[in-house]
């Protein structure tokens, strides 16, 4: 097995996809974590899954196919039974002369090839595809967890599992603790909750919302930043469903008057997930929100976050400095934590001591000392930072700067030989300076400690399977400030909607960024207590590309749509 991995690494170098230095860094990280070197290379952003899979194809002498950009014939796909396709993670992409062209993650899996040849009666020609693209296509073609199964299970509960209890969907929630305890252990309610969670994971949801209404319960998933309603179970299963989730997350099912927070750890399709659970008493019962945290997603490199090369190079140059403060700003859900974790992955080597204080610790990274904030025990961001300074750190990450005390210690740490990474809630990069000063940080300390500020948002990307071009009307060109481009025809792109994107026209998200790098002129303006607008104007004159600039570029490059860009970046009445 080690020989096979080594051969793939050699092929990556021979084809110019990685350098010897990058390989050495990945090998050091693999020695600490025990993960395959190729997985580390992908996580660091040096190569993609596609690159590694192509090299594996070269090694095995089979063709590589890019399923993400391929139109499949459903009749050919269905030549293989869905149970075999899901068991072996394979898909039929072509059928010629009694021979199936079979896309596989592992073309050397002789057992899978023999089973499919026996069942279908066709000869098999294996080709290789990425594991993620195979799972996505199989889920689209055959369906993953069917929500109809949840609804059927709900009906079963209604019919058989409430015993002598009176079921009234219009009644308020009045279920005794003894009845709840009995119900939450019954197979049907367990199956309902498990199916809701597994479907959310299959749909790449970031959050599950279970919301009580007067006569029903609404279940919604947040996919690519937008909420979608998926089902409305009857009111009578609200109490056992919420209680089942509470038991899974070690919460008190008898307490329904105050908010509670918990955590669920589970495995799904071989991957580990943490669900951060929050309950909140509302008028019609308890609302539950579960944030889905994929432990594997933290191994994402900066190269996958939507940075244009010149901005990524600037950011990497800034975080390579031995001391100073780097801030990432934006609203909740704008990807700040993912960016910081990606930076930490890049900096995480044997030679540095990295310490973080977070609320909560969303992802655990080998080789990094992570501390969970605990206000009840007196472990705050500020107190943890004071302790960090006695632990000989090189790099410190603070989950969020929320108050003046935390800001003061973070700034002092940045001025005494430490690289400090943190987040701040501001609308743009230049607003971070004003926010720190409002927290009581003196302007001369801000100007001395800050290295750069990255502001960002997340925009949905156009589905590659149904992407199509169109020429916008002249009114739109004028409205969006594109009159300077009218000498040549402007082409916008959109998704018309397909099964892959569930008719939304969007699949996945990308970052829209604005990187303000401290210069002598900007430091001088900070010392003079100049306004946010003046600092911003100076940064633009020195070459900073604003978020509207970055968003428009992604629209013209066909990455996202102008409507999506307006949704996440621009305020009402503002023009590009």
pLDDT of 46 reads: 81
pLDDT of 31 reads: 80
pLDDT in tens, 302-326: 888 899 999 999 999 999 999 999 9
pLDDT in tens, 383-414: 888 899 889 999 999 989 988 999 999 999 99
Q: Which helix (H) or strand (E) holds 271?
A: strand 271-282
Q: Who contacts 179 (Cβ-Cβ below 8 Å, separation ≥6)?
A: 165
pLDDT in tens, 16-49: 888 888 888 888 877 877 778 888 888 777 888 8
3-state secondary structure of 195: helix
Q: Who contacts 230 (Cβ-Cβ below 8 Å, separation ≥6)?
A: 147, 199, 219, 220, 221
Residue 72: alpha-carbon gap to chain centroid: 27
Cα distance between residue 264 and residue 275, in whole Å: 5
pLDDT of 299 reads: 57
Cα distance between residue 367 and residue 350, in whole Å: 8
Structure tokens at 318: 């800034």
Cα distance between residue 498 and residue 465, in whole Å: 7
pLDDT of 550 reads: 92
Instruction: Dump the DSSP string for 122-148.
Output: -EEEEEE--HHHHHHHHHHHH-SS-HH
3-state secondary structure of 420: strand
pLDDT of 329 reads: 95
3-state secondary structure of 365: coil
How many residues are there in the chain?
576
Instruction: Dump the DSSP string for 500-535.
Output: TTTTSSEEEEEEEEEEEE--HHHHHHHHTT--HHHH
Cα distance between residue 168 and residue 556, in whole Å: 55
The single residue listed with the structure tokens 């089942």 is 244
Q: Is 132 exposed, middle or buried (0-12, 13-18, 19+ CB in 10 A)?
A: middle
Conformational region of residue 573, where left means phi above 0, alpha means psi within -120 to 50, and beta covers everything else: left
User: Beta partners for 268?
Assistant: 271
316-341 in b/e form (b: 16+ CB < 10 A) is eebbeeebbbbbbbbeeebbbbbbbb
Measured CA to CA in angstroms, residue 241 lies from 77, 232, 530 at distances of 37, 13, 54
Structure tokens at 518: 């401290």
Please tell me the pTM assigned to this model: 0.70
Indicate the angle between helix axes 49-60 and 2-14, nearest 10 degrees: 110
3-state secondary structure of 561: coil
**Computed from CA positions of residues 330, 331, 333, 336, in that sequence, does the dihedral angle turn out positive or negative?**
positive
Query: Could you say which DSSP state residue 348 is in?
Result: -
pLDDT of 518 reads: 95
Structure tokens at 349: 């080597």
Residue numbers in the chain where pLDDT is lower than 70: 1-6, 143-187, 295-300, 473-489, 570-576
Please calculate the CA angle 505-507-509 and round it to the nearest 5 degrees.
Answer: 120
> What count of other Cβ atoms lies within 10 Å of the Cβ of residue 461?
22
The single residue listed with the structure tokens 């396709």 is 85
**Residue 401 dihedral angles phi and psi, to the nearest 5°:** -90, 110
pLDDT in tens, 140-182: 777 544 555 666 666 666 544 544 444 444 444 455 555 555 5
């Amino acid at each position: 097995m080690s020989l096979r991995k080594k051969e793939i690494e050699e092929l990556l170098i021979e084809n110019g996809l990685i350098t010897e230095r990058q390989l050495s860094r990945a090998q050091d990280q693999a020695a600490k974590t025990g993960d395959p070197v190729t997985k580390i290379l992908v996580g660091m952003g040096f190569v993609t899954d596609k690159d590694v899979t192509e090299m594996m194809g070269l090694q095995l002498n089979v063709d590589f196919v890019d399923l993400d950009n391929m139109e499949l014939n459903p009749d050919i796909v269905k030549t293989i039974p869905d149970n075999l396709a899901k068991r072996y993670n394979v898909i039929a992409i072509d059928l010629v002369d009694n021979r199936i062209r079979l896309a596989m993650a592992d073309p050397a899996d002789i057992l899978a090839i023999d089973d499919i040849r026996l069942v279908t009666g066709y000869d098999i020609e294996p080709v290789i595809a990425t594991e993620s693209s195979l799972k996505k296509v199989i889920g689209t073609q055959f369906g993953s967890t069917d929500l109809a199964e949840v609804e059927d299970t709900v009906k079963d509960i209604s019919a058989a599992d409430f015993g002598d209890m009176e079921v009234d969907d219009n009644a308020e929630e009045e279920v005794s603790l003894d009845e709840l305890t009995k119900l939450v252990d019954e197979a049907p309610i367990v199956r309902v909750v498990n199916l809701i969670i597994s479907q959310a994971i299959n749909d790449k949801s970031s959050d599950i919302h279970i919301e009580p209404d007067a006569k029903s319960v609404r279940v919604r998933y947040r996919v690519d930043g937008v909420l979608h309603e998926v089902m409305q179970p009857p009111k009578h299963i609200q109490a056992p469903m919420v209680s089942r989730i509470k038991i899974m997350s070690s919460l008190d099912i008898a307490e329904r008057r105050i908010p509670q927070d918990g955590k669920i750890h589970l495995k799904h399709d071989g991957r580990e997930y943490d669900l951060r659970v929050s309950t909140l008493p509302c008028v019609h019962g308890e609302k539950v929100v579960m944030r889905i945290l994929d432990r594997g997603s933290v191994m994402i490199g900066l190269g996958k976050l939507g940075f244009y090369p010149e901005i990524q190079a600037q950011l990497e140059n800034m975080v390579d400095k031995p001391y100073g403060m780097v801030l990432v700003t934006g609203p909740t859900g704008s990807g700040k934590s993912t960016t910081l974790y990606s930076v930490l992955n890049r900096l995480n080597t044997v030679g540095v001591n990295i310490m973080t204080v977070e609320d909560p610790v969303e992802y655990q990274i080998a080789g990094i000392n992570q501390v969970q904030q605990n206000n009840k025990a007196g472990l705050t961001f500020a107190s943890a930072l004071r302790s960090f300074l006695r632990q000989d750190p090189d790099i410190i990450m603070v989950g969020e700067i929320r108050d003046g005390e935390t800001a003061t210690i973070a700034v002092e740490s940045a001025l005494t030989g430490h690289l400090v990474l943190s987040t701040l809630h501001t609308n743009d990069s230049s607003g971070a300076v004003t926010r720190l000063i409002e927290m009581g940080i003196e302007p001369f300390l801000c100007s001395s400690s800050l290295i750069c500020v990255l502001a960002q948002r997340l925009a949905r990307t156009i589905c590659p399977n149904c992407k199509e071009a169109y020429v916008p009307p002249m009114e739109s060109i004028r409205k969006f400030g594109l009159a300077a481009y009218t000498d040549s025809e402007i082409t916008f792109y959109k998704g018309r909607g397909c099964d892959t994107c569930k008719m939304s026209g969007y699949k996945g998200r990308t970052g829209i960024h604005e990187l303000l790098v401290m210069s002598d002129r900007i430091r001088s303006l900070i010392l003079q207590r100049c306004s946010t607008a003046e600092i911003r104007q100076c940064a633009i004159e020195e070459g900073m590309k604003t978020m509207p600039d970055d968003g428009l570029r992604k629209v013209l490059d066909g990455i996202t749509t102008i409507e999506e860009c307006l949704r996440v970046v621009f305020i009402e009445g503002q023009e590009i």
